[in-house]
């Protein structure tokens, strides 16, 4: 692992342990060249995932890109970082368990929408506005109007899926 301070290629692992959620291994490292200490997190990747975009383009799936988009939707909301991390881990696990290495971007977007709907209504609407490409205030009205009957009953679309 390359040292982030001096770019030396040979860092030494001083401590290694699983994270609380078991989704990664936390390693404390030290660089023999400059003596700096730093932490890395290594995740198990079951398979290389490729995202099929609307344009037909294929991109390698990036967990960090998924996490960034969810964090942006959740910005300035009272949501603990651990809950965001659990949502990201859950989406990645579901994608890896689909059994296909090529995944339509719409599937990823819908999984994130489901997770955010259960997590925070404002983050859900923020993400939807970008994902569904809202162009006018009317688009927000229509989308939020569709949520109101669900909120009035205290149910979510996820509840409907559980009934099937």
Kindly state the DSSP code that residue 59 receives in the 8-state scheme.
Answer: E
Residue 133 has pLDDT above 50, yes or no: yes
73 shares a domain with 104: yes
Query: Does the residue 5 lie in any domain?
Result: no
Mean pLDDT, the chain, rounded, equals: 86
Residue 41 has pLDDT above 70, yes or no: yes
82 shares a domain with 126: yes
Q: Where are the beta strands (DSSP E) in the chain?
A: 12-18, 24-30, 37-43, 50-52, 58-60, 102-104
> Alpha-carbon distance 149 to 130, whole Å?
23
88 shares a domain with 20: no
69 shares a domain with 36: no
121 shares a domain with 79: yes
114 shares a domain with 97: yes
Query: Does the residue 146 lie in any domain?
Result: no
Which pLDDT tens digit goes with each residue over 155-164? 444 444 444 3
Chain centroid offset of residue 156 CA: 20
Per-residue confidence (pLDDT) for residue 158, from 0 to 100: 42
60 shares a domain with 121: yes
Per-residue confidence (pLDDT) for residue 46, from 0 to 100: 63
Chain centroid offset of residue 56 CA: 22
Query: Does the residue 3 lie in any domain?
Result: no
93 shares a domain with 122: yes
118 shares a domain with 136: yes
> Alpha-carbon distance 7 to 9, whole Å?
6
39 shares a domain with 82: no
As a dihedral over the C-alpha atoms of residue 93, residue 97, residue 98, residue 104, rounded to 10 degrees, the angle is: 30
Q: Is 38 exposed, middle or buried (0-12, 13-18, 19+ CB in 10 A)?
A: middle
Q: Is 49 exposed, middle or buried (0-12, 13-18, 19+ CB in 10 A)?
A: buried
For residue 25, the enclosing domain spans: 12-43
Query: Does the residue 161 lie in any domain?
Result: no
54 shares a domain with 37: no
More confident residue, 24 or 109: 109
57 shares a domain with 122: yes
Angle at the Cα of 115 from the Cα atoms of 111 and 117, rounded to 5 degrees: 115
Per-residue confidence (pLDDT) for residue 149, from 0 to 100: 54
Cβ neighbours, 10 Å, residue 8 = 15
Please tell me the total count of domains within the chain: 2
């Amino acid at each position: 692992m390359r040292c982030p301070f001096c770019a030396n290629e040979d860092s030494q692992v001083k401590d290694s342990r699983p994270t609380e959620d078991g989704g990664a291994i936390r390693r404390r490292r030290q660089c023999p060249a400059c003596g700096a200490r730093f932490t890395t997190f290594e995740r198990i990747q079951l398979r290389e995932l490729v995202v099929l975009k609307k344009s037909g383009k294929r991109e390698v799936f990036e967990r960090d890109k998924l996490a960034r988009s969810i964090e942006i939707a959740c910005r300035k909301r009272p949501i603990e970082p651990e809950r965001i991390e659990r949502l990201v881990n859950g989406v990645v696990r579901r994608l890896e368990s689909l059994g296909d290495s090529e995944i339509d971007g719409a599937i990823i977007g819908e999984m994130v929408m489901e997770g955010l709907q259960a997590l925070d209504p404002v983050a859900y609407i923020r993400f939807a506005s970008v994902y569904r490409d809202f162009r006018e205030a009317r688009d927000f009205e229509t989308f939020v109007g569709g949520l109101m009957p669900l909120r009035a009953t205290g149910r979510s679309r996820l509840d409907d899926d559980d009934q099937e």
